[in-house]
Amino acid sequence: IEDYRKVARGGKGVKTLNITGKTGKLIAIKAVTDESDLMIITRSGITIRVAVGDIRLAGRATQGVKLINLREGDAIAAVCCVPKSDPLPKEEGEDL
């Protein structure tokens, strides 16, 4: 958030993302910490959980970081910030 300068009334705003045909639209923006996870859910029901600390940092006016590959015709339904979870303990004889 400190990367954003204050803009006076009548200002043109501050650019957040370089939107192109390659990147598509900005779906969600969340204030998070490294102690959080992001859950991304698609319209087809695919859900992924990503540790915020594992996401590569990018500059403010860049094209961003791709977090999920969408199938043709699919779209993002929801993005939410959730508390970081501990990995499940591996049970004897179980392959994860």
Helix, strand, coil shares of the chain as percentages rounded to 5? 5, 20, 75
Q: Distance of alpha carbon 17 from its chain centroid, rounded? A: 13
Look at 30-34, 49-53, 59-63, 77-81 and tell me which has the smallest mean pLDDT.
Answer: 59-63
Task: Convert the pLDDT of each residue in 68-93 to its tens digit.
Answer: 888 999 999 999 999 887 666 667 66
Instruction: Look at the pTM and tell me if it is higher than 0.75.
Output: no
Contact between 40 and 23 under an 8 Å Cβ cutoff? The reply is no
Contact between 37 and 84 under an 8 Å Cβ cutoff? The reply is yes
